[in-house]
Homo-oligomer: A and B are copies of this chain.
Amino acid sequence: MTLSKGDEPIPKFGRAYRKDFSLESSYIPVNHGSFGTFPHVVKEQLRKYQDECELQPDRWYRYEKELHLKRNLDCISRLIHCDAKDLAFVQNSSQAANTVLRSYPFKKGDKIICLQTAYVNVEKTLLYIRDKYGVQLLPIELNYPLEDEEVVQKIREVIEAEHAKIGEPKIIMGVIDAICSAPGVRLPFESIASLLKQHNILSLIDGAHVLGQIEIDIEALDPDFFFTNCHKWLYTPRGCTILYVAKRNQGYIHPTTINFAYEHHKDGAITSTFNLELSPPTIDCSNYLCVETALKYRESIGGEEKIRQYTHDIAVKGGQLVAEMLGTRVMENSTKTLTASMVNVELPHFETSKIQNGQVAPYIIKKLVYEHNMTALIYENNGKYWIRLSGQIYVDLNDFKAVGEALLSIIQELNK
């Protein structure tokens, strides 16, 4: 990788960038959205912190790591425009969702809006709090592709219908995605957050795929709760996720593992223990300390905007290419808002009777991994099978072409 400094031209992204990462050179890495990966410079920094810690673990855990944590939270706060005091590191998006959903003081009967496209762990956490606390879930079906206004309208209809009911509990929270996982589409989350706010409904925004993929301005969005992975699109090691909690709710939120700083607060606006309660426990938290290095690397190769431009552009072009090869279509709407840096392509009709019910997607994924040295998410949506492909700085059209060829070969085999 050639660092671009000063007036040097930004190098064209693509396969050449793969050497900055640890990926096997023969691997076709079109599934960054699932587990992400991180460049060598980040790995070096990670190990530097880990080595430093083991020189004297007490000194590190008791005194030294705090300054590093603070500096890294500051980096994020500048990137997403909010007070660093409203942020905490957690390990992954599921933990962020659990932090909020399991500690928020729901009462029996409270209603929560959620989307059918919610990430499975978030969906199951909602079922857990339904079973444990007796909240009522109002799932909203979203059969993609959809226009942005259709999505907002479906949610508006549910709110209006529920709030028209006399003597029933109101909707207390809406759990929505910024970018869903399957299908990998961008939602009009700004409009939805604003709709929720108009109706005094708390917003919990799953932004797992946001950081590094699309711009976000927390101050402008003003969500109640928001979380986003750093270990996917921002290139930190796994797991490293940011949880934002608005000051008005911090008193209600306790970590998934209660620590020394726990205090019960009757008022959500009591912020006194939030930062201590949400401070990292005794684990190796060096992952959290790599935000700064990941951002520096991103800056060195052109910066956030250039990266976003490329990963979006290659997703759009790559998706189009695969759809053409398969004779199908990309999942898009009339205003082209669905594709950020993940693109979804419909699979052509194929024979599935040989494979056990529910095993079609895992079957194809395993074939992709072990026979074609690539991975991509395969999922059912609206009665059809789709593939989700990720743009990234280290992929180019040749990678998407290889995916198209692999899929044609697998489908031909299935149809035999």
Residue numbers of A with Cβ under 8 A of B are 21-24, 27, 31, 34-38, 43, 47, 51, 54-59, 61-63, 91-92, 94-95, 98, 102, 120-121, 124-125, 127-128, 131, 237-239, 254, 256-262, 264, 281-284, 287, 365-366, 369-370, 373, 375
Contact = CB atoms under 8 A, between A and B. Distances in A.
Nearest to A60: B35
A256 B256 contact: yes
A203 B366 CA distance: 43
Given A22-B54, A124-B258, 15 more contacts: A23-B54, A56-B369, A56-B375, A59-B369, A91-B257, A102-B258, A121-B258, A121-B259, A124-B259, A125-B258, A127-B262, A131-B264, A238-B284, A239-B283, A256-B257
Tell me which of A36, A258, A260, A262 has the highest count of chain B C-beta atoms within 10 A of its own C-beta.
Answer: A258
A239 to B, nearest CB: 4
Contacts of A283: 91-92, 238-239
Contacts of A92: 257, 281-283
B282 A56 contact: no
A327 to B, nearest CB: 27
Contacts of A125: 257-258, 262
Contacts of A55: 22-24, 27
Given A94-B259, A264-B131, A281 B239 contact: yes
24 contacts: A21-B54, A22-B54, A27-B55, A34-B58, A35-B58, A37-B57, A58-B369, A59-B370, A59-B375, A91-B283, A92-B257, A92-B282, A95-B257, A98-B256, A98-B258, A102-B258, A120-B260, A124-B261, A125-B262, A127-B264, A128-B258, A131-B264, A239-B282, A256-B256
A60 to B, nearest CB: 8
A254 B369 contact: no
A239 B54 CA distance: 13
A284 B239 CA distance: 7
Contact of A94 (B24, B62, B258, B369): B258
A260 B120 CA distance: 6
Tell me which of A38, A239, A284 has the highest count of chain B C-beta atoms within 10 A of its own C-beta.
Answer: A284
Nearest to A40: B54
Contacts of A261: 124
Nearest to A229: B282
Contact of A57 (B36, B43, B54, B124): B36
Contact of A260 (B35, B124, B131, B254): B124
Contacts of A259: 94, 120-121, 124
